[in-house]
Each structure stands twice: as C-alpha cells, then as structure tokens.
C-alpha cells in the first residue's frame, strides 16, 4: 500500500512537471519579443527627438533611415507572432494596429521636422506622444498575464 501511495505521488509530481504552459503565458513570452523590437524603435525615436533640438533636418533623416526600417520590423514581427489564446490574439491585434499606425506617422513626423512649421511640428509631436502612451499601455497589458 505504501509503495502504491509513493507511485501515485510520483505520477502526480511528474504530471505537474510536464504539464504544458498555459497558452496565455506562452503568448506573453512570444509577444514580449515583439515588444523588444518595439523598444529598439523607441530608442531610435528618442535619438531623433534629442537630435531635433539641434538639427531638425538630421533628425528627420534619422527617422527615415533608422526608425522606418525598425518600424517595418515591428510590423513584421507583430503580424507573424503566433498566439494560442483569445487573450494573446487581442494583445497581438493591439500590437499590430499600433505598429502600423506608428509606421504611417513616421513620414509625417519627418516632414514636419523638415518644414519647420511650428503648428505642424506640435501636431506631429503630440501624435508621437499619443503613440508612445499606447505602446506603454500595450506593454502593461502584456505584462498582466491572466492565470
């Protein structure tokens, strides 16, 4: 009887060790790879912002040569990431929508920096701030994995 109890206990432990990860946790890990690519884009945007304080034309060039390819990479990663839960699918859709909007706005931002019109620049910066807030919100939602 004692041997049977030990075998039963071992089978429960082995079952717990080999149980697959819940889909939402696996999804979160996959989505975090997209967030890592987005962080590289954010770094390029910060660099362009810093450069715009001294040379707006060079900042616009940085947006076109560095940020745009990174934005394309984020879109590619976000659209191709595989998720297996409704929670993951919702987060993926959020990431794809944001990535596409960011990509669409970058040429406008570069143009605003080149043209020098204060109103156009302000609108472009406000849009970038809104997109950054959405990116932070997305990251926060991905970090809150359901049980």
88: buried, middle or exposed (CB in 10 Å: 19+, 13-18, 0-12)?
Answer: buried
Alpha carbon distance 78, 142 (integer Å) = 13
Alpha carbon distance 18, 12 (integer Å) = 10
pLDDT at 86 over 50: yes
Six token digits for residue 19: 């149980």
How much is the pLDDT for 146?
83
What is the mean pLDDT of the segment spanning 63-88? 97
How much is the pLDDT for 3?
53
With pLDDT > 90 as the criterion, what percentage of the chain qualifies? 79
Decide: pTM greater than 0.85.
Answer: no
Alpha carbon distance 140, 104 (integer Å) = 23
Alpha carbon distance 31, 78 (integer Å) = 8
Residue among 40, 8, 103, 82 nearest 91 (CA): 82
Alpha carbon distance 57, 78 (integer Å) = 30
pLDDT at 107 over 70: yes
């Amino acid at each position: 009887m004692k041997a049977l109890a030990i075998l039963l206990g071992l089978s429960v432990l082995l079952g717990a060790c080999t149980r697959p990860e819940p889909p939402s946790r696996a999804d979160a890990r996959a989505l975090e790879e997209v967030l890592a690519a987005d962080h590289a884009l954010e770094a390029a945007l910060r660099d362009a912002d810093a450069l715009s304080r001294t040379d707006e034309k060079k900042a616009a060039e940085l947006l076109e040569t560095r940020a745009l390819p990174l934005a394309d990479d984020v879109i590619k990663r976000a659209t191709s990431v595989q998720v297996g839960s409704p929670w993951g699918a919702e987060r993926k859709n959020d990431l794809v929508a944001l990535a596409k909007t960011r990509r669409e706005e970058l040429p406008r931002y570069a143009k605003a920096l080149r043209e020098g019109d204060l109103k156009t620049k302000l609108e472009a910066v406000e849009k970038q701030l809104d997109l950054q807030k959405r990116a932070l919100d997305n990251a926060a939602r991905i970090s809150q994995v359901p049980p």
